[in-house]
Amino acid sequence: MASNARKRVVILGGGFGGVFTAKHLQRHAGSGVEIVLISRHNFFVFQPLLPEIAGGSINPGDGVTPLRRFLPGVAVMVAEIRELDLGAKTVHVTLGGEPGIRTVPYDQLVIALGQVVDLSRTPGLADRALVMKDVMDAFHIRNRVLGCLEDADATTEPRRRRSLLTFVVIGGGFTGVETIGEVQELVRKSLKYYPNIRPDEIRTILIQHGPRILPELPEHLATYAAEQLRRRGIEIRLNTGVEAATPAGIETGSGPPIDAETVVAAIGNAPAPLIRSLPLALEHGRIAVDRCLRVHGQDDVWALGDDAHIPLGEPNGDKVAYAPPLAQFAFREAKVLARNILAHLENRPLTAFEYRSLGTMAALGGRSGVADIMGVRISGFPAWVAWRLFYLSLLPGIATRLRVAADWLLDLVASRSIAEIRAAQSASRQVRCLAGDLVIEPGIDPGGVYVVTAGMFEVGAGPDAAADPDARAQPPRKVGPGGHFGMPLDGAATPTNEWVRAREDSTAYFIGKDDLQRLAMVSALVGRRADGAPMS
Ligand SMILES: Cc1cc2nc3c(=O)[nH]c(=O)nc-3n(C[C@H](O)[C@H](O)[C@H](O)COP(=O)(O)OP(=O)(O)OC[C@H]3O[C@@H](n4cnc5c(N)ncnc54)[C@H](O)[C@@H]3O)c2cc1C
């Protein structure tokens, strides 16, 4: 329970808003205030650097800051926040390996949970696309790109090669532009190690719904950025919406479908379900707060960062400007919010949040960038240097700054690592096949079962009819969504002469032999319980 003597401030979220609120409180609050920060991870992710992690110029561990080191004196709780009870003034969380819900009481609550990626509006995209929100997302993209180069180097099948060597980023805002720039740079720098891939086989495509990229920047800088990207061979498709994602790639409103193994969605920011479930007023999916960052209708609840709708200045006619979802704003909001919580606890007047952006910048990869700093517009190499220096200065903690600076210096003189690091994981995964792909060869152990989720497969016995039509012994059977092939589910021996080929672009969920055995064991147990049989 929060003690009566000390006031407990509970901060939800370990991103820009939460961490810097905790930092300012820790600096300025006296011993009468206890600060608790609850977040999913025990580190802070500096999101503007994620494209560089995806591009391999920063190691993932170097681009994050451990919360316990950066926030001495703050009680850091690594937990999943499940529910808020604003009436009882409690937060419900699940902690590490502990079963059950833990209740954390608060006197003052700060909500800084950011936003989530929601791709549900485009059919198939959520299953198909990689996203760029967290450090593991960025690392995953890097590994996927390198994995595609490895596979393309080994395969001679033309459509498969094309798909593996096509890299698509959807969304032409900062995140999308910086990601495509870094992906292209990673591929370009890695190609010398892949003798079987020609540079002209690589396609990098940026898809933007609107008429230009970087709508946040003045038009001439955005035009410059587009020229730079095009000069490096990046295709930019403007006024193009993605209508669906398929096993093979994506379908756009204009032009033929694009076969691509790597599709990154830099779109779809949306409020987290937890935020939507709160009995709080939302405006444009964000929590409505006043200019002092206090949540409407709540005395002891505050919000900032991407999940808050913060008015900037007094209404001008009916026009009110709102703080954009940017790190530089969350960083400043945190200072005002911390000051206001302390003022509120001491019955002093609150301060309104006011901040004018100092400018905007984007790194384009290839040592080039664009920037508009207090009206001064720069581009090319100077903008790239300004971008790096600015973000280096914002990074929390000297150790993180030194590590990122060292990574960047190393990147100037040494080649990037092309190690494709895959965490030890179960073999089970989603498998995408292009029409004609041979999934199981006769005589090869399939290693598990494939459950078809989309498309159609042909399963035959004996010689592969597609490889040798004259040798067709019996017509192959078709297996569509819901069906399965590979290892028999009843544990019988796998036929050794079976082959499977995708009839059309298709997906299946592959369940490895080990997982299958675990599933069988669990379902046997569940079955016994349902039958009322005694458990040993
Ligand atoms: C790839 C990328 C590039 C960007 N580049 C720039 C840029 O160049 N310049 C700029 O100004 N801005 C940039 N931004 C935007 C900027 O990063 C955000 O505006 C900023 O991070 C918002 O801070 P926040 O604290 O609101 O949310 P976040 O930083 O997203 O933090 C939210 C925190 O809450 C935690 N959390 C959420 N839900 C739960 C839960 N249920 N339980 C436990 N913990 C939870 C998360 O793990 C996270 O730690 C970029 C964003 C991205 C994704």
> Distance between CA 175 and CA 532 in Å, rounded?
55
Atom of ligand 1 at shortest range from CA of 326: 19
CB-CB contact of 102 with 92 (8 Å):
yes
> What percent of the chain is modeled with pLDDT above 90?
74
The predicted pLDDT at position 74 comes to 98
Q: Could you tell me the distance, in angstroms and rounded to a whole number, from the CA of residue 99 to the centre of ligand 1? A: 28
* Closest residue CA from atom 27 of ligand 1: 114
The predicted pLDDT at position 315 comes to 66
* pLDDT one-digit tens code per residue, 314-325: 766 667 889 999
Q: Could you tell me the distance, in angstroms and rounded to a whole number, from the CA of residue 94 to the centre of ligand 1? A: 21
Between residues 445 and 469, which one has the greater pLDDT?
445
Atom of ligand 1 at shortest range from CA of 19: 25
Between residues 525 and 290, which one has the greater pLDDT?
290
Atom of ligand 1 at shortest range from CA of 113: 34
Neighbours of 299 (CB within 10 A): 8
Cα 103 to Cα 85, 89, 100, 466: the distances in Å are: 10, 10, 10, 61
Asked if the model's pLDDT at residue 174 lies above 80, the reply is yes
* pLDDT one-digit tens code per residue, 119-138: 999 999 998 999 999 999 99
Q: Could you tell me the distance, in angstroms and rounded to a whole number, from the CA of residue 43 to the centre of ligand 1? A: 12
> Distance between CA 61 and CA 63 in Å, rounded?
6
> Distance between CA 322 and CA 290 in Å, rounded?
11
* Closest residue CA from atom 41 of ligand 1: 81
Break the chain down into helix, strand, coil percent, rounded to 5.
35, 30, 40
* pLDDT one-digit tens code per residue, 377-402: 899 999 999 999 999 998 998 999 99
Atom of ligand 1 at shortest range from CA of 132: 1
Phi first, then psi, for residue 352 (nearest 5°) are -80, 145
Asked if the model's pLDDT at residue 466 lies above 90, the reply is no
Q: Could you tell me the distance, in angstroms and rounded to a whole number, from the CA of residue 114 to the centre of ligand 1? A: 5
> Distance between CA 145 and CA 389 in Å, rounded?
27
Average pLDDT of the residues of the chain: 91
Q: Could you tell me the distance, in angstroms and rounded to a whole number, from the CA of residue 150 to the centre of ligand 1? A: 32
Burial class (CB in 10 A: 0-12, 13-18, 19+), 104: buried
> Distance between CA 203 and CA 166 in Å, rounded?
5
pLDDT band at 424 (very low <50, low <70, confident <90, very high): low
Asked if the model's pLDDT at residue 16 lies above 80, the reply is yes
CB-CB contact of 19 with 70 (8 Å):
yes
> Distance between CA 450 and CA 515 in Å, rounded?
12
Q: Could you tell me the distance, in angstroms and rounded to a whole number, from the CA of residue 12 to the centre of ligand 1? A: 12
Cα 222 to Cα 185, 229, 264, 448: the distances in Å are: 19, 11, 21, 49
Q: Could you tell me the distance, in angstroms and rounded to a whole number, from the CA of residue 18 to the centre of ligand 1? A: 10
* Closest residue CA from atom 53 of ligand 1: 133
pLDDT band at 97 (very low <50, low <70, confident <90, very high): confident
> Distance between CA 140 and CA 124 in Å, rounded?
19
Asked if the model's pLDDT at residue 478 lies above 60, the reply is yes
b/e per residue 53-65 (b: at least 16 CB within 10 A):
bbbbbbbbebbbb
> Distance between CA 219 and CA 230 in Å, rounded?
16
206-215, 304-313, 417-426, 441-450: which range is least confident on average?
417-426
Long-range contacts, stretch 99-107, CB < 8 angstroms, 24+ apart: 104/10, 104/36, 104/38, 104/77, 105/1, 105/2, 105/8, 106/2, 106/8, 106/9, 106/10, 106/36, 106/300, 107/2, 107/7, 107/8, 107/9, 107/300
53-67, 213-227, 418-432, 436-450: which range is least confident on average?
418-432
Mutate to test the pocket of ligand 1, among 24, 39, 47 (most ligand atoms within 8 A of CB): 47
Mutate to test the pocket of ligand 1, among 326, 361, 391, 393 (most ligand atoms within 8 A of CB): 326
Q: Could you tell me the distance, in angstroms and rounded to a whole number, from the CA of residue 64 to the centre of ligand 1? A: 13
Cα 389 to Cα 105, 363, 401: the distances in Å are: 41, 12, 10
Q: How many C-alpha atoms does 15 have within 13 Å on its Cβ side?
A: 26
Question: What mean pLDDT comes out for the span 294-304?
Answer: 97
Mutate to test the pocket of ligand 1, among 113, 139, 372 (most ligand atoms within 8 A of CB): 113
The predicted pLDDT at position 489 comes to 75
The predicted pLDDT at position 442 comes to 84
* pLDDT one-digit tens code per residue, 141-170: 999 999 999 999 999 999 999 999 999 999
Residues contacting 168, CB < 8 A, separation 6+: 204, 205, 206, 207, 249, 250, 258, 260, 262, 263, 264
Rounded to two decimals, the pTM is 0.89
DSSP 427: S
Question: What mean pLDDT comes out for the span 433-462?
Answer: 90
> Distance between CA 342 and CA 9 in Å, rounded?
10
Cα 142 to Cα 45, 58, 523: the distances in Å are: 17, 11, 37
> Distance between CA 141 and CA 146 in Å, rounded?
9
Q: How far does CA 34 lie from the centroid of its chain?
A: 32
Neighbours of 6 (CB within 10 A): 13
Cα 416 to Cα 154, 180, 193, 413, 486: the distances in Å are: 21, 17, 11, 10, 39
* Residues in contact with ligand 1 (CB, 6 Å cut-off): 13-18, 39-41, 47-48, 50, 80-81, 112-114, 132-133, 174-175, 272, 274, 305-307, 325-328, 330
* Closest residue CA from atom 30 of ligand 1: 114
Q: Is the dihedral of CA 402, 408, 409, 413 positive or negative?
A: positive
pLDDT band at 293 (very low <50, low <70, confident <90, very high): very high
Q: Could you tell me the distance, in angstroms and rounded to a whole number, from the CA of residue 391 to the centre of ligand 1? A: 15
* Closest residue CA from atom 31 of ligand 1: 15
Size (the chain), residues: 536
Between residues 253 and 299, which one has the greater pLDDT?
299
Q: Could you tell me the distance, in angstroms and rounded to a whole number, from the CA of residue 504 to the centre of ligand 1? A: 39
CB-CB contact of 274 with 116 (8 Å):
no
Phi first, then psi, for residue 268 (nearest 5°) are 90, 25
* Terminal alpha carbon distance of the chain: 41
* Closest residue CA from atom 5 of ligand 1: 48
Cα 305 to Cα 15, 110, 309: the distances in Å are: 9, 11, 8
DSSP 290: -
CB-CB contact of 37 with 19 (8 Å):
yes
* pLDDT one-digit tens code per residue, 38-73: 999 999 999 999 999 999 999 999 999 999 999 999
The predicted pLDDT at position 337 comes to 98
Asked if the model's pLDDT at residue 4 lies above 60, the reply is no
Q: Could you tell me the distance, in angstroms and rounded to a whole number, from the CA of residue 15 to the centre of ligand 1? A: 5
Q: Could you tell me the distance, in angstroms and rounded to a whole number, from the CA of residue 45 to the centre of ligand 1? A: 8
The predicted pLDDT at position 531 comes to 53
Neighbours of 457 (CB within 10 A): 25
Greatest C-alpha distance within the chain: 89
